Amino acid sequence: MEGVIDHHMRNILTRIGGYHHCVTEFVRITDQLLPPSVFHRICPELILTGKTDAGTPVTLQLLGGDAGAMAENAQRAVELGASAIDINFGCPSRFINRKAGGAVLLKEPERIFNITRAVRKAVAIEVPVSAKIRLGYETTELALENAMAVEAASASFITVHARTKVDGYHHPARWEWLGKINDALTIPLVANGDINSVDDFLRCRQMSNCRDFMLGRGAVIQPDLARQISAIQSQTDQPQTAQPQSAMKWDEVIGLVVELAELMQRQPFAKQKSVLGRMKQWLAYLKRQYPQAGALFSEIRTMKQLSQASELLRHTQAPLSCSA
């Protein structure tokens, strides 16, 4: 999720728990080998251990339509410390699609195979290589063929966002299609799209028969959603009656928003406008789960001074008590 889940957000969310791994925003590849600084900007975790501060592995995502350049840059990413590579065939951005990247490649299963295969061959076999696709560009006609192209290219697993490019993010996710694709593959399928609550997860699991799930917007709408889902999955004796953990209280959540702003402000050359924009953005997501976020968003949406918004959030934040 470009502009939403950066390394600051990854650190916050993975510290809450429930994630097996997380994926970076995409590194856009054209026709040349990128310098290390580009990879480090998108994935600062590479400089240390390739993991978030909570110890969750970070997968580096690449986007591009040139198989040779994608392979060359994947190799460099691994040399810099990336422990896994993901290929983005799902981005619906018109600009990206015009540059032969993202979802437009869903029109050409052969290119999906060639790009995935080139990346797979470019890195050591112990480095997982995965791909993320949508159900198609305009229709679902090539959904199975595209998924099978990824499998034929020896990908470790595939993530499928259960919408077409034309669906954007408006049409409800078509989880029934995940079940069809899952039945046709032998590699693991990770379900993605509209998993914004525990109830969504349960319904998606039933319709898709998937064992693995990727959160996008749901991760920022409900910051502890992965932890709740993980708790349910661990209750294997009676999965149908498994109960989630109690959701995070608003007092805890507002503290996370304050923390995000503070983390961003510590960065060299931090722009107040960008920090303020991210605070507003997260509150806009959170209001789908927390009514208090909606009221707070209404108060700060027209503010132009970061100091004013930060003071309001700190005033709103209730004192937190420590617990074992």
**Enzyme catalytic residues:** 91
Find the angle CA(287)-CA(290)-CA(292) to the nearest 5 degrees.
Answer: 85
**Dihedral pair phi/psi, residue 260, rounded to 5°:** -60, -45
Buried b (16+ CB within 10 A) or exposed e, 49-66: ebbbeeebbbbbbbbbbb
**Runs of H (alpha helix) within the chain:** 7-16, 36-42, 67-79, 94-98, 109-122, 143-152, 175-184, 198-208, 217-221, 225-234, 250-265, 272-286, 291-300, 306-316
Helix (H) or strand (E) segment spanning residue 131 = strand 129-136
Residue that has been written with the tokens 């195979």 in this structure: 113
d(CA 209, CA 228): 19
**Dihedral pair phi/psi, residue 134, rounded to 5°:** -105, 180
Alpha carbon 289 to its chain centroid, in Å, reads: 19
Bridge partners (DSSP) listed for residue 62: 27, 87
- Nearest CA to 165 among 150, 148, 143? 143
Find the angle CA(255)-CA(14)-CA(209) to the nearest 5 degrees.
Answer: 125
- Nearest CA to 89 among 68, 69, 71, 115? 115
Contact between 191 and 213 under an 8 Å Cβ cutoff? The reply is yes
